[in-house]
Structure 1
Amino acid sequence: MNAIVISSARVAKLAFKDNDLAIANRPILGLEKHSYNGNDITFSKYNETWRELRKLSVIHLFSVKQVASFYPIRRDQLTGSHVELDSWKNYEELEERRFDKVFKECQELAGAFYFGDHFPLLGWIDKLNGMKSRIDNNFRILDYFYQGLIDEHLDPNRPESMRGDILDLLIKLKQDQAAAVPLKWENIKGILMNVFIAGTDTSSSTLVWALLIKHPQAMKKAQEEVRNIVGTKGTVDEVDIQSLPYLKAIIKETLRLFPPVPLSLPKETIDKCTIDGYEIPAKTTVYMNTHAIGLDPEYWENPTEFMPDRFLNSTIDYKGHDYGLLPFGTAEEDAPE
């Protein structure tokens, strides 16, 4: 299997902006079952199904209006004497279902090395060393979990709290046949996998890094900013975040130095293309070293230093348009059409 690793902002732009259509596929490495054979958003092939799933996610699931509607849930989860930053689900529910360990194992399996992915003739080693058995067992438990959630939402007597959540919306889209490409239960389970596995631990790990900063001056400046905005109110609401530029700068700097996934999920070339003068064959796996890109000395001044001020009065953001800061991938590789 051919593979390349992109480790600079300049080459990342050449690859994902100038050759975005040629590097549009995503290979399913290791966790093919967990993606329901590419029926999710993350591992779907670049086709009409992927475009429709992305469109549905942007318009119906993760729109500004929809995310704002979940504010009461986020507020309730943050109410209490303390917050466990690396626990991203209701602890009692996970303890009862005993799925906390299962989700963590899935994340470990997603980052593991599989001989069959890189050397097809050596795929038998994955069976011999127990990796295939671990994948099968982990998938079986998670599939049971997803099916349980679906059954609960299909119950006409389901709790009011389930109405209007992400799964409820997906089921409604399927039942109403509102998608250009009819949704299957495999699509819905695949999207649940994306939400639970890809959209949780990455966020909490970033928060942990941000709050463990050993830079008292930066911490003091952030605390003063929060106190000035919040005043005597006592709590910080989500609307207050827009008025906290230094706190947002700390988050950007944390994502630059400590991206949630140092080596991004791989992409795969559909067609032959040229990157930085090198001809890249079709079916080449393309990795992006987001950690190295965040430390690129050609893009950043004093790249190894923690300097949140670099983002003040700067338009650089982490949404995928600035190729020196790509903690969540590029806008081109994940943008819906």
Structure 2
Amino acid sequence: MSTQTAPLALTMGDPCGIGPEIVAKTLTQRQERAIVYGSVAVMRNIVQRLGIDNSIQEISTPEEARFHENTIEVIETSQRLPVLPIGQIHAAAGQAAFDALIAAIAAAKRGAVSGIVTAPINKEAMSLANIRYPGHTEILADYSGAKRVAMMLANDDIRTVLVTIHMSLRKAIEQADFNAQLAAIRLACEGCKALGIAKPRIAVAGLNPHAGEGGLFGDEEIRIIRPAIAAACAEGINVSGPYAGDTVYMHARQGKFDIVVAQYHDQGLIPVKYLGLDRGVNITLGLPFVRTSPDHGTAFDIAGKGIADHASLVTALDYAKQLVAVQTKSE
């Protein structure tokens, strides 16, 4: 099956969170070439709870999908998982979310699906199941065989790529070395091109206040970040900085830059999330296939109540289709 014709895999996420609900709402609202990876029982239960007319059809492989109207097709990955209490952290739910993702990765690696869109997982539930990963990104990197990956957060106004991801701030500072800086810049360039931006303008945020103020507030900008920027420029990448982290996103939003390279998790995610969780999308760069995700969590406090907003998942699907289209065009 070619990338152009292969469907998308849509993982249900943690079955006790809002993942199944936003998946069901999305595939009810829109006719998509997307297959759910997860639990048939969980998806049937949420459809009934929401009063949705769509039927749940179990299939074994992506090739069996027919995408009939009012039908949500599900590949069972949870070994007949019982319906668990919604809104609670449960080891079985963490295992089910992990199993769905691993099955989707395997399908993407063999080309049976064109990409993966992931609903939210719960890190504590996975930990209870003895799955020691801090998030989706690290699982995707390990099981896809990718040498280096990066998180790209995007909405209509700004895009950002992170030098470091899920780790303490102290460790992030240690990990943000020359190689990490250069890799993030390269991936930011590749990510923009994957979205159809032929000549991306990249800004790099500083690590310290005021980008170090010439070494007064720290010398990482002088010792590490500037040399990495110079090395990237020598490769022909249009990158500049480091810029003060408290103003660079304002300039990006005004159109001066296409993407910002952030040094650590919150530096990059706060500006994106401030503009609205319904608009932000997480894109994993460096994988051998497309992967996007809504930029929010499992929201156990509202799970099962029928009020979860599926707008971010819809946006994630749209980004995935855009990335696949650009990828197919370049092949």
Q: TM-score, normalised by structure 1?
A: 0.27
Q: Going by fraction, where is strand more abundant, 1 or 2? A: 2
Q: TM-score, normalised by structure 2?
A: 0.27
Larger Cα-atom Rg: 1
